Amino acid sequence: MGSFSWITCDTKERIINGEEINVYVLVPEEFGGGNIKESCYGGYGIFGEKDIYDLVAIWNKDFLEEIFNSTNRKHKKDPIIEEIAFIYKEKTEKDVLKYIEEHNLPGIYKYSWLRFIGIYLACYDEDNAQMPYPIKIAKSEYVVYEDCDPSPADPHQGFKYYI
């Protein structure tokens, strides 16, 4: 599993893995608004017990076809993830799991298919920024999703010390 971290959209500061400091995943108004607080980010995309990649997949579910057909996407096409995403959009979780089983996909797909969609959507800054609901993380709890630009990835993946 990889390490993920971002730059805050309000203060442009790196979110350091394991550092005890509050950061807030901003939630689009369409999905209830507000934020999800994390007091010590661990580096794997989990904020306040929510997987940020699950969230971005949920938020952008209605736009999957438009996103995948964009000619500006940096992420290499992945037909399996795209098929799972379309099943998710049009059918049920049970149908996704049936597809995974029928195609003998590795077991991790059974538990992480939604996260895989989110990573596929938002792993690269360029892709994240193009989505209707990109990842936005702030240092201030008072920042509103709609008033902030997308959070770029931390080039040092949240590690405090780097060469």
Query: Is residue 140, in this structure, part of any structural domain at all?
Result: yes
Q: Reply yes or no on whether the pLDDT at 163 is more than 60.
A: no
Query: Is residue 40, in this structure, part of any structural domain at all?
Result: yes
**Tokens 């580096």 found at:** 43
Query: Is residue 55, in this structure, part of any structural domain at all?
Result: yes
Query: Is residue 29, in this structure, part of any structural domain at all?
Result: yes
Query: Is residue 108, in this structure, part of any structural domain at all?
Result: yes
pLDDT tens for each residue of 98-155: 999 999 999 999 999 999 999 999 999 999 999 999 999 999 999 999 999 999 999 8
The whole domain housing 110 covers 20-147
Query: Is residue 14, in this structure, part of any structural domain at all?
Result: no
Query: Is residue 11, in this structure, part of any structural domain at all?
Result: no
Q: Name the pTM for this structure.
A: 0.93
pLDDT tens for each residue of 72-93: 888 888 999 999 999 999 999 9
DSSP state of 14: B
Query: Is residue 9, in this structure, part of any structural domain at all?
Result: no
Domains of the chain: total: 1
* H helix runs in 14-153, sequence order: 52-59, 64-68, 79-90, 93-102, 108-122, 125-130
- Conformation bin of residue 45: beta by default, left when phi > 0, alpha when psi is -120 to 50: left
